[in-house]
Amino acid sequence: MRSLVVLVLMSATAHADPLDLFGFGAEAAGQAGARTASATGAEAAHYDPAAVALAERPTVLVGWGAAAMRLSIDGRDADVLDAHGTSLGLAVPIHDGDWTYAGAIGLYLPDQFLARIHLIPPTEPHFVLLDNDPHRVVVEPIAAASYRGRFAIGGGASILADASSRQIVFDVGIVAGQKVGEAALDIELPVRAAPLLGVWMRPHDRVRLAATYRGQLSLDLRLDILANVQVAGVVTGDALVSIRAANYFTPARAQAGVAIDVADDLTVAADLAWQRWSAFGSGLPDLRVLVALDLTPPLVSTQNPPARFTDTIETRLGAEYRRAGDKTDLALRAGAAYLPSPVPPQTGLTSFADGDRTLLTLGAGLTFAHWQPYLTRPLSIDLAIGWQHVAPRLTKKDVTSFPGEAFSSDGEILQASLSSTIHF
């Protein structure tokens, strides 16, 4: 007797880029990430691909950051994992007359794991964006060219890897009268990539403009685990456990930025970013269990409702004050950002918690510019702290279509980062 049952089950994740949350390096984090037009060298690998070609020398960025996720649901700790990880950047310019060509890479490496596919039942209230967002690797290789330090163009990719099985098979049979199991598996981590494009220009000595585009990206898990049972007289058939999960959904983003040197020692910057969250789809991964053994489980499948996320526009503002010293330069920074939530009212099956966020940051940096003979090139050390307030949200279910309990969510995120930029 063979029977087939298909079960679909749901859980959801929607995520963005952790560097969008916390910044790439303390210099950017201190200005709330408003660095699209002002980042250069290794830091620009994340903020504007074109600007990596503005590096005069090979540059390395090394940093570490942490965020305490103090989020709550119904007044209780939402049990969201704190985030901490290392940022690394490398820009290598090659000068050729009026042109400079550069290769670069920007990296963020969470300390605890490179990525996590973490699926929670969709009916269970949880922070759909902040639960897993900060916990993934970011890899952004870039190539760029600049002309006389006035105009630059660059492109690259934001890269992730899927986890997928070509086969996972467990054969159970009878050999010489004994039950025997044998298995084989073939797993790969194929590369996923989204395009990164950037353009940068300096129309005036005191003004820098930049625009960037990043394509949509996600990490997909595809595991098919097949148990093939051939025990004559007892049971024959197979069982397949099939997982399909999309994680770390990172929407397409178009961003523009301006930086103005309002004084020789003061720069202000502003960024505007549109993020296409509406492409999120249902956001619900599924697990299917196909059983073709001698049993008839009375189970049913569930339909995935669309997530109906909305596109967002983020605004970031930053300022940097610099004071040059005989040997050491000082920089003081501040920033603010408004980061609206793409998550719609949760009146149906899903219980995604989220809220509009307001970000305030402060930072400072020292550049050891003239420390020969101990340092043959400048070396900078930067520190930043930040506070994100997640606006309170009360979610009530539509009792006419989906009976469920209301829940509330709110929280704070406290972040700090330390980084160093080394010129070779």
Partner 1 sequence: MGLLRHAGVAWITIGVAAATAHASPVEIFGFGPRHGALAGAGVASTDDFAALYYNPAGLALGTGESATIGVQGAFSNLSIDDRVIDLEDPAGVVLGFTAPAPLGGPLENRLRVGVALYLLPTTIARVSARFPQEPFFPWYQGRTERDVIVPGAALRVSDRITVGLAVNFLAGVVGGLEASEGAQRSLVARVDEKVPSVARVHAGIDLELTDRLRAGLVYRQRFEVPFSTLAKTEVAGEPIDLDLHASGQFTPDELAIGGAWHDRVTTISVDAQWSRWSAYPGPFVTVESELPLVGPLAASIPTVPYRDTWAGRAGVETRVGEAILRGGYAFETSPFPKTQTGVTNLLDGPKHTVGLGVGFVFERSRIDVGVQAQFVGSRRTTKTIYTGDGSDYDPFTSLRDEDSNTDGAQISNPGYPSIDSGGQVFSGGVAIEVPL
Rg of the chain's alpha carbons, rounded to an integer?
Answer: 25
DSSP state, residue 53: G
Q: Which helix (H) or strand (E) holds 147?
A: strand 138-147
Using the rule CB under 8 A, give the single segment among 48-56, 69-77, 155-163, 322-330 that binds partner 1. Answer: 155-163
Q: Contact between 381 and partner 1 (CB under 8 A)?
A: no
Please tell me what DSSP assigns to residue 49. Answer: G
Query: Which residue number, 75 or 177, has a Cβ lying nearer to partner 1?
Result: 177
Query: Closest distance between partner 1 and the C-beta of residue 325, in Å?
Result: 19
232 binds partner 1 (CB under 8 A): no
4 binds partner 1 (CB under 8 A): no
Part in contact with partner 1 (CB under 8 A); list of ranges 37-45, 68-76, 163-171, 397-405: 163-171
- CA-to-CA separations, 346 to 120, 167, 248, 355, in angstroms, rounded: 16, 38, 20, 12
Does residue 222 bind partner 1 (CB under 8 A)? no
Nearer to partner 1, 159 or 336 (CB): 159
Contact range with partner 1 by CB under 8 A, out of 230-238, 251-259, 275-283, 402-410? 230-238
Q: H-type helices in 250-362, by residue range?
A: none
Q: Assess 137 for contact with partner 1 (CB under 8 A).
A: yes
Identify residues 69-108 at the interface with partner 1 (CB under 8 A): 85-86, 88, 90, 92-94, 103, 105, 107-108
Phi, psi of 37 (to 5 degrees): -95, -15
Number of residues engaging partner 1 in binding (CB under 8 A):
94
Tell me phi and psi for residue 52, to 5 degrees. Answer: -65, -25
Q: How many CB atoms lie within 10 A of CB 232?
A: 8
- Binding to partner 1, residues 253-292 (CB under 8 A): 285, 287, 289, 291
Residue 143 in the binding site for partner 1 (CB under 8 A): no
**Which of residues 75, 96, 176, 205 is near partner 1 by CB under 8 A?**
176
Nearer CB in complex with partner 1: 121/306: 121
Helix (H, G, I), strand (E, B) or coil at 28: helix
Give the nearer residue to partner 1 in terms of CB position, either 157 or 258.
Answer: 157
Give the Cα separation of 194 and 16 in Å (integer): 13
Q: State the residue for tokens 């990719």.
A: 157
Q: Residue 173: left (phi > 0), alpha (psi -120 to 50), or beta?
A: beta
- Which two structure tokens, joined as six digits, stand for 174? 């009878």
Question: Cα–Cα distances in Å, from 190 out to 16, 31, 153, 219?
Answer: 20, 35, 29, 10
Please say whether the beta carbons of 207 and 258 come within 8 A: yes
For residues 20 and 238, which CB has a smaller minimum distance to partner 1 in the complex?
A: 238
- We find the least distance from the C-beta atom of residue 412 to partner 1, in angstroms, to be 26
Determine which helix (DSSP H) or strand (DSSP E) holds 21, and give its type and residue range: helix 18-22
Among 177, 264, 326, 403, binds partner 1 (CB under 8 A): 177
Which range touches partner 1 (CB under 8 A), out of 24-32, 39-47, 118-126, 309-317?
118-126
- 158 or 346: whose CB is closer to partner 1? 158
- Token match 């002309």: residue? 147
> Which residue, 114 or 252, has its beta carbon nearer to partner 1?
114
- In angstroms, the CA 317 to CA 37 distance is 12
Nearest approach in angstroms of CB 232 to partner 1 is 11
Does residue 35 belong to the site contacting partner 1 (CB under 8 A)?
Answer: no
Letters for 382-401 (x = contact with partner 1 by CB under 8 A, - = none) are --------------------
Report whether 341 contacts 314 (CB < 8 A): no
Site string for partner 1, 298-317 (x = CB under 8 A): xxxxx---------------
What is the helix (H) or strand (E) element at residue 45, kind and residue range?
A: helix 44-47
Is 184 one of the binding residues for partner 1 (CB under 8 A)? yes
Q: Of 2, 166, 204, 370, which one interacts with partner 1 (CB under 8 A)?
A: 166
